[in-house]
Amino acid sequence: MPSRNERILIDVSSGGFPWLTLVVFLPLLGVAAILLVEEALAKWVALGISSLVFLVSLPLWVLFDESTPAMQFVEAHQWIASPSINYAVGVDGISLPLVLLTTLLTPLCVLVSWTAIETRVREFVISLLVMETATLGVFVALDFVLFYVFWETMLIPMYLLIGIWGGPNRVYAAIKFFLYTLAGSILLLVAIIVLYFYAGEESFDILTLSNAGYPPWLQAWLFWAFFAAFAVKVPMFPFHTWLPDAHVEAPTAGSVMLASVLLKLGAYGFLRFSLPMLPHATQRFTSVVIFLSVVAIIYGAYMAFAQADLKKLIAYSSVSHMGFVTLGIFVLNAQGIEGAILQMVNHGITTGALFLCVGIVYERTHSREIVDNSGLAASMPVYATFLVIFALSSVGLPGMNSFVGEFFVLLGTFMWSKALATVATLGVILAAAYILWMLQRVVYGTPAQHVAPKLHDMNWREIGTLAPLAFFVFWIGLYPKPLLDVMHASVDHLVQKQANVMVVDAGPPVPPPAIAGTGSFPGPSPTKVETR
Partner 1 sequence: MMIPLADLVTILPELIVVSVACLLLVLDPITPSHRKDLLAWMSVAALAVCFVVTAGGMGDRVSAFSDLVVVDGYASFWKLLLYVVSGMTILLSIGYLKEERIDLAEFYGFVLLSLTGMMIMVSGADLLVIYLGIELMSISLYVLAGFKRFEAKSIESSAKYFILGAFSSGLLLYGISLIFGVAGSTRLVEIAAAVDARGLDDPLILIALMLVIVGFGFKVAAVPFHMWTPDVYQGAPTSVTAFMAVASKAASFGAFLRVMLEGFGGMKPNWSGLILGVCILTLILGNLVAIVQTNVKRMLAYSSIAHAGYALIGLVVAGWVGTGAGVSAKGVSSMMLYLAVYSFMTLGAFSMVAILRRGGDEGEDLDDFTGLAKRHKGAAFLMLLFMISLAGIPPTAGFIGKFYLFMAAVNAGLTWLAVVGLIFAAVSAFYYLRVVMVMYMREPSPDQESETRLALSPTATVVLALAVAGVVLFGVYPWPLVSLTASASLP
Residue 195 CB burial class (10 angstroms; 0-12, 13-18, ≥19): buried
The residue among 55 and 190 lying less far from partner 1, judged by its C-beta, is 190
CB 140 within 8 A of CB 91: yes
The residue among 183 and 436 lying less far from partner 1, judged by its C-beta, is 183
193 binds partner 1 (CB under 8 A): yes
CB 529 within 8 A of CB 9: no
Phi, psi angle pair for 92, to nearest 5°: -130, -170
Q: Beta-strand (E) ranges in 9-125?
A: 72-80, 85-91
Number of residues that bind partner 1 (CB under 8 A): 34
* Cα(441)–Cα(80) distance, integer angstroms: 57
Residues 66-95 interacting with partner 1 (rule: CB under 8 A): 79-83
190 binds partner 1 (CB under 8 A): yes
Nearest distance in Å: CB 153, partner 1: 5
3-state DSSP assignment of residue 370? coil
What amino acid occupies position 148?
Y
Nearest distance in Å: CB 230, partner 1: 17
148 binds partner 1 (CB under 8 A): yes
What amino acid occupies position 169?
N
145 binds partner 1 (CB under 8 A): yes
From residue 96 to residue 135, the character string flagging contacts with partner 1 as x (rule: CB under 8 A) and all else as - is: ------------------------x--x------------
Residue 207 CB burial class (10 angstroms; 0-12, 13-18, ≥19): buried
The region of 174-182, 255-263, 322-330, 332-340 touching partner 1 under the rule CB under 8 A is 174-182
Nearest distance in Å: CB 193, partner 1: 4
Nearest distance in Å: CB 156, partner 1: 6
Nearest distance in Å: CB 239, partner 1: 15
Cβ neighbours of 340 (radius 10 Å): 28
- Dihedral in degrees, nearest 10, Cα atoms 211, 213, 219, 223: 0
Interacting residue with partner 1 among 10, 63, 116, 156 (CB under 8 A): 156
Total number of residues shown for the chain: 532
Q: Any residues with CB less than 8 A from the CB of 85 and at least 6 apart, and which?
A: 79, 143, 145, 146, 204
The region of 160-168, 434-442, 451-459, 473-481 touching partner 1 under the rule CB under 8 A is 160-168
Give the residues lining the site for partner 1 (CB under 8 A).
Answer: 79-83, 120, 123, 145, 148-149, 152-153, 155-156, 159-160, 163-164, 170-171, 174-175, 178-179, 182-183, 186-187, 189-190, 193-194, 196-197
